[in-house]
Structure 1
Amino acid sequence: MLVVAVVDKIGTGLWTGAATLYFLYVAHLSIAQIGLLMGLSGVLGIAGPPLGGRLADRFPVTRVLVLAQLARGAALLALLATDDYVLLVVFSALGALPDRASSVLTKLFAARAAGPERVRYQAIQRTAANIGWAVGAAGAAAALTVGSATSYRLLLLANVASYALMAVLTLRCAEPPAPSRVVAGTHHPVDEISTRTPWRDRRYLSFTATEVWLFLDDSILQVGFPLWIVHATDAPVGLAPLVLVLNSVLVVALQVPLSRFGSTTAAARRLLLPIGAALLTGGAALAASVSGGPWFSTAAVLVAATAFTLAEILHSLSSWELSVALAPDEAQGAYLGVHGLAQSAQRSLGPVVVGVAVSMGAIAWPVLGATLAVTCLVQHRLVGPSTRTPPRGAPPASRTPGPGSGAAGFQPVGEQAGRSRTP
């Protein structure tokens, strides 16, 4: 599955940088039309994670993932068949649904396959994905120097080919045991499994709601930094792409080594405190970047980028462990699907929030950093030691913890039997 992640990001890197230009120069859409197309696609894509998670509780996750990969490729390939705006919107939206679902399905596979080592596995997978993204983006940059309609079509086809290759590779992966279909070591039909639902779990829904805000670091790095560098600082414009390079280098270098600090539920909860401190530091550094000359502005921006990237790395570890550990075995897919809504919602909300922050000036960044730090504290309290109360209407849980679960239901943090704790 690590190879699948690399292939996925190579293909995505090839296409993402060319997508807007394809719609502009090949499909001949206006900027407003492109913005609306992407916005509508994002809205439909929000339904992908819960749908994918629910299906993975009922069917083998590898088979569901293969279908999602093929659907992504088919929707993208369909773009070549038309220049009609309505159809382009429909095909793009239909592609966004399995695209968002694939992210949750990949994480669910990791949770089931890696068991207690899921945090390290996810860190390795994220590192591999970043390497793949860099390779794909470099390939896209080389192809875009040609700037012809044919080059854009070839990049699209290369991404379609990556989906086909991913489907073949996924079929070769062994299906991991699914706690949702294995209870106390006995296989049961789906209709005999407890119908636990995350939509009645107030604590998990509250946890997911705080995640929407904490995932904002993605929009800050991808959208906020370029806009801020160009419009508010004396730093050179060329610093904007270098910030993204710095982000990728730090993720590749630090994601796996730092994974040991989030290897248990209790450790993942403790990470929320340094995450908040890093977000505060990043906000203060961005505010300071408007002062002084080019050298000072550049240094302040780099400090901010480092702080936000560190927060991103640590939050990915904390978020991953907590989202799995707090989900009951028999509804693991459904719960992770709901958690996946946080990233989907952030993709729609984040650019708007960051755009407002840039327009408000330097004072917005420490304020935004402070709200993110407070959110870390709220989440720290929310996921603290507690005995889980089953949602109303759910039968009492009597089961043996599955291999993908860090806790039986929502047992007190730090009391996970059978898992070694790394300081």
Structure 2
Amino acid sequence: MSLLHRRAALKDRIPGGRDGRRMLGITLVDKTGNGLWTATQALYFTYVTGLSIAEVGLLISISAGIGIAGAPIAGRIADRLPITRVLIAAQLLRATAGLALLTTDHFAPLLVIAAFGSLGDRAANVLTKLYAARIAGSERVRYQAVNRTVGNTGFAIGGLAAAAALGIGTTAAYQSLLAGNALTSLCAALLTLRCGEPPAPSRVVTGSGSTTAAAKPANPWRDRTYLLYVASEAVLFLDDAVFMVGLPLWIVHATEAPHGLAPLLLVLNNVMVVALQIPLARFGATTQAARRLLGPLAVAFAAGTLAMSVSAVDSRWLAITALVLAATALTLAEILHATISWELSVALAPDEAQGAYLGVHGVAASAQRSAGPLIVTGAIAAGPAGWALLGAGLVATCFAQSRLVRNQLPDPALSVPPVTVSHQ
């Protein structure tokens, strides 16, 4: 097969057509910027702005807490306005906030600016997911798998660039990372201008040919089943806190493993996601298949947390082996949960209120960012038994979620029903 034929075949395998491929390019740019900033923000606020450790912790925690509102607000707006316009606004908000952080070194204005940036970040995340649901239709899981793989690649590129800048260690180097993140958000906004507006079931064609919002859309805040589902999702998203907070602290304070193993396990996580997210996504391509994956997800969580407990043994090599097994199992859990979450969060949402429902679902990941580190550090403080208890809670949540959604899922389930109007 010629190179041109291979490229054509690859394009055919990406749902969403040209706009889908454009959004993947936007994801690569956007996540590269995230990689520049995410791992270095605490160091920037410490060494450049001169905040104390307590102030840095408060700034990051409070701004993340305020950012939780970004997902539901953006989702509801996207049910009423073209999603590309709302996404551009979120990206511009992030870019503006990033550049504004360069203008001050005082705690109060930094907190306000960081909060606006967090609102934009959470909004952009849920809008990207909603765009995928609308552009890819019934192939939304496969598209999200490709999108996440591209995003992880971009994050790794940004992380490598950040590591190089941190090796320099000057104020200008730190500021360049912040500016780079802001500029990638601006580039993402400009690139989004080229994306077509996908059909939206929440907006319908009137007799005059104009479009209006569908009357009386469902309210996710009054949907008890969906709220319980979102609560269970907040628990299952804890794999993020385990990797970002739990593994490094546990390695340093409770095991005989070398401290340098922590970043290597993060690399393992990233490589596994890039390599396996797309192949494993096919096992959750339908709504019922996604629900059935909650069983293997429970097994992966149990294996990962049990291995974390075992890693506290008084043996360097056994600790290393157990930690590698834990990272592998928990990464598989992360991949499986991502696949399940993409499908069920959309399948449980009424067509006319997709944006509002996905916005509320976005609260789960945002809430985990605030509460997750506290839960994981609590498990660490309890020792090996803490990991066992955390694992038991995660397994119980998997089965509770499966039971909760069992009779709520449509069959067959499509992200977007046929709609004849598109907004340009």
TM-score normalised by structure 1 residue count: 0.90
Give CA deviations for 1:357-396 in whole Å, capped at 9, x if unaligned.
10110011111111100100000001103488xxxxxxxx
- What is aligned with 2:18? none
Which one of 340, 345, 353 corresponds to residue 323 of structure 1?
A: 345
- What is aligned with 1:301? 323
Q: Does 1:212 align with 2:223?
A: no
Q: CA RMSD in A?
A: 1.9
Q: Cα gap change, 1:196/1:300 in structure 2, threshold over 3 Å: closer, same or farther? A: same
Amino acid at match of 1:370: A
- What is aligned with 1:404? 415
Q: Does 1:177 align with 2:215?
A: no
Cα distance, 1:192 vs structure 2: 4.6
Asked whether the equivalents of residues 179 and 404 of structure 1 are also in contact (C-alpha less than 8 Å), the reply is no
Q: Cα gap change, 1:184/1:256 in structure 2, threshold over 3 Å: closer, same or farther? A: farther
Asked whether the equivalents of residues 181 and 187 of structure 1 are also in contact (C-alpha less than 8 Å), the reply is no
CA–CA separation in structure 2 for the residues paired with 1:236 and 1:368:
24
Asked whether the equivalents of residues 347 and 409 of structure 2 are also in contact (C-alpha less than 8 Å), the reply is no
- What is aligned with 1:419? none
CA–CA separation in structure 2 for the residues paired with 1:240 and 1:265:
36
Which one of 75, 78, 92 corresponds to residue 70 of structure 1?
A: 92
Q: Cα gap change, 1:372/1:165 in structure 2, threshold over 3 Å: closer, same or farther? A: same
For residue 168 of structure 2, give the secondary structure of its aligned residue in structure 1: coil
CA–CA separation in structure 1 for the residues paired with 2:134 and 2:335:
22
- What is aligned with 1:168? 190
Asked whether the equivalents of residues 205 and 211 of structure 2 are also in contact (C-alpha less than 8 Å), the reply is no
- What is aligned with 1:377? 399
CA–CA separation in structure 2 for the residues paired with 1:256 and 1:210:
24
Which one of 143, 146, 154 corresponds to residue 168 of structure 2?
A: 146
Matches within 5 A, 1:9-408: 9-182=31-204, 189-190=211-212, 192-386=214-408, 404-405=415-416
Cα distance, 1:404 vs structure 2: 2.7
Cα distance, 1:87 vs structure 2: 0.7
Structure 2 gaps, min length 5: 1-22, 419-424
Cα distance, 1:283 vs structure 2: 1.1
Asked whether the equivalents of residues 268 and 322 of structure 1 are also in contact (C-alpha less than 8 Å), the reply is yes
CA–CA separation in structure 1 for the residues paired with 2:209 and 2:365:
33
Asked whether the equivalents of residues 202 and 353 of structure 2 are also in contact (C-alpha less than 8 Å), the reply is yes
- What is aligned with 1:398? none
Amino acid at match of 1:61: I
- What is aligned with 1:396? none
Asked whether the equivalents of residues 347 and 414 of structure 2 are also in contact (C-alpha less than 8 Å), the reply is no
Asked whether the equivalents of residues 54 and 333 of structure 1 are also in contact (C-alpha less than 8 Å), the reply is yes
Cα distance, 1:317 vs structure 2: 0.3
CA–CA separation in structure 2 for the residues paired with 1:180 and 1:14:
36
Amino acid at match of 1:241: P
Q: Cα gap change, 1:356/1:177 in structure 2, threshold over 3 Å: closer, same or farther? A: same
Q: Cα gap change, 1:387/1:122 in structure 2, threshold over 3 Å: closer, same or farther? A: closer
CA–CA separation in structure 2 for the residues paired with 1:368 and 1:40:
25
Give CA deviations for 1:161-200 in whole Å, capped at 9, x if unaligned.
1011101111111111111113799977545523211011
| Residues paired across the two proteins, number | 395
Q: Larger deviation: 298-307 or 178-187?
A: 178-187
Asked whether the equivalents of residues 325 and 406 of structure 1 are also in contact (C-alpha less than 8 Å), the reply is no
Identity across the alignment (%): 56
Amino acid at match of 1:283: T
For residue 291 of structure 1, give the secondary structure of its aligned residue in structure 2: coil
- Deviant stretches of 4+, over 4 Å: 183-189
Asked whether the equivalents of residues 181 and 188 of structure 1 are also in contact (C-alpha less than 8 Å), the reply is no
Q: Cα gap change, 1:34/1:70 in structure 2, threshold over 3 Å: closer, same or farther? A: same
Structure 1 gaps, min length 5: 389-400, 408-423
Q: Cα gap change, 1:208/1:188 in structure 2, threshold over 3 Å: closer, same or farther? A: farther
Q: Cα gap change, 1:406/1:306 in structure 2, threshold over 3 Å: closer, same or farther? A: farther
Asked whether the equivalents of residues 138 and 413 of structure 2 are also in contact (C-alpha less than 8 Å), the reply is no
Give CA deviations for 1:128-167 in whole Å, capped at 9, x if unaligned.
0000000000000001111111111111111111011101
- What is aligned with 1:394? none
Q: Cα gap change, 1:248/1:186 in structure 2, threshold over 3 Å: closer, same or farther? A: farther
CA–CA separation in structure 2 for the residues paired with 1:221 and 1:146:
27
CA–CA separation in structure 2 for the residues paired with 1:266 and 1:207:
16
- What is aligned with 2:15? none
CA–CA separation in structure 2 for the residues paired with 1:386 and 1:402:
11
Amino acid at match of 1:366: A
Q: Cα gap change, 1:288/1:38 in structure 2, threshold over 3 Å: closer, same or farther? A: same
CA–CA separation in structure 1 for the residues paired with 2:274 and 2:147:
10
CA–CA separation in structure 2 for the residues paired with 1:124 and 1:244:
20
Q: Cα gap change, 1:245/1:194 in structure 2, threshold over 3 Å: closer, same or farther? A: same
Asked whether the equivalents of residues 113 and 404 of structure 1 are also in contact (C-alpha less than 8 Å), the reply is no
Q: Cα gap change, 1:186/1:207 in structure 2, threshold over 3 Å: closer, same or farther? A: farther
